[in-house]
Amino acid sequence: MSRSENSLSDFHREMIQFNEFATSTKVIEKAFPGQTIPMYVNEFWTAKQRAAHSLHEISYRACFKPQLPRFFIERFTKPGEKVYDPFMGRGTTLIESALLGRKPVGCDVNPLAALLCMPRLNVPDAISVRQRLEEIPMDMATEIREDLLAFYHPQTLSELCALRSYFLERQASGTLDNVDAWIRMTATNRLTGHSAGFFSVYSLPPNQSVSIASQLRINQNRQQVPPQRDISAIILKKTSALFKDLTTQQRKHLQSAGSAAQCITSNCAETPDIADDSIALVVTSPPFLDIVQYDQDNWLRCWFNGIDANAVPIWQLRSAEKWQAAMSGVFQELHRIVVPQGIVAFEVGEVRKGRILLEDLVIPAANQAGFIPIAVLINDQEFTKTSQCWGVDNASKGTNTNRIVILQKC
Residue 27, judged by CB atoms within 10 A of its CB (0-12, 13-18, 19+), counts as middle
Query: In Å, how far from its chain's centre is CA 358?
Result: 19
Say yes or no: 43 and 191 in one domain: no
Q: Is residue 306 part of a domain?
A: no
Q: Is residue 192 part of a domain?
A: yes
User: Facing residues of 350 across strands?
Assistant: 357
Say yes or no: 234 and 338 in one domain: no
User: Facing residues of 348 across strands?
Assistant: 403
Say yes or no: 135 and 170 in one domain: yes
For the residues 378-393, what does the mean pLDDT come to?
52
3-state helix, strand, coil in the chain (%, to 5): 45, 15, 40
How many percent of the chain have pLDDT more than 70?
89
Cα–Cα distance measured from residue 237 to residue 230, given in angstroms and rounded to the nearest whole number: 11
How confident is the model at residue 47, as a pLDDT? Answer: 60
Which residue, 214, 242, 270, sits at the end of a domain?
242
How confident is the model at residue 397, as a pLDDT? Answer: 41
How confident is the model at residue 77, as a pLDDT? Answer: 96
Say yes or no: 270 and 371 in one domain: yes
Secondary structure letter of residue 202 according to DSSP: B
Q: How many residues does the chain have?
A: 410
Residues 39 and 391 sit within 8 Å (Cβ to Cβ) = no
**What is the phi-psi region of residue 197: left when phi exceeds 0, alpha when psi lies from -120 to 50, beta otherwise?**
alpha
Number of domains composing the chain: 2
Q: Is residue 195 part of a domain?
A: yes
For residue 346, pLDDT beyond 80 = yes
Residues 189 and 181 sit within 8 Å (Cβ to Cβ) = no
Say yes or no: 187 and 213 in one domain: yes
Which residue, 222, 242, 262, sits at the end of a domain?
242
Say yes or no: 87 and 140 in one domain: no
How confident is the model at residue 293, as a pLDDT? Answer: 62
* Average model confidence (pLDDT) across the chain: 89
Indicate the pLDDT class of residue 382, thresholds 50, 70 and 90.
low
For residue 386, pLDDT beyond 60 = no
Say yes or no: 238 and 250 in one domain: no
Q: Are strands 26-32 and 35-42 parallel, antiparallel or unpaired?
A: antiparallel
Q: Is residue 117 part of a domain?
A: no
How confident is the model at residue 1, as a pLDDT? Answer: 33
Residues 316 and 112 sit within 8 Å (Cβ to Cβ) = no
**What single string gives the DSSP state of each residue in 142-168?**
S---GGGGGTS-HHHHHHHHHHHHHHH
For residue 275, pLDDT beyond 90 = yes
CATH number assigned to the domain comprising residue 10: 3.40.50.150
Say yes or no: 372 and 268 in one domain: yes
Say yes or no: 396 and 265 in one domain: yes
Q: Is residue 120 part of a domain?
A: no
Count CB-CB contacts under 10 A for residue 326: 18
How confident is the model at residue 76, as a pLDDT? Answer: 96
Cα–Cα distance measured from residue 31 to residue 38, given in angstroms and rounded to the nearest whole number: 9
Residues 165 and 143 sit within 8 Å (Cβ to Cβ) = yes
Say yes or no: 82 and 45 in one domain: yes
Question: In 154-187, which positions are buried (b, 16+ CB within 10 angstroms) versus exposed (e)?
Answer: eebbbbbbbbbbbbeebbeeeebeebbbbbbbbb
Say yes or no: 136 and 285 in one domain: no
Q: Is residue 283 part of a domain?
A: yes
pLDDT digits (tens, 9 = 90+) for 190-239: 999 999 999 999 998 877 789 999 999 999 999 999 999 999 999 999 99
Q: Is residue 58 part of a domain?
A: yes
Say yes or no: 265 and 389 in one domain: yes
pLDDT digits (tens, 9 = 90+) for 25-51: 999 998 887 889 999 999 998 766 557
Q: Identify the domain containing residue 227 by its residue range.
A: 126-242
For residue 403, pLDDT beyond 80 = yes
Q: Is residue 116 part of a domain?
A: no
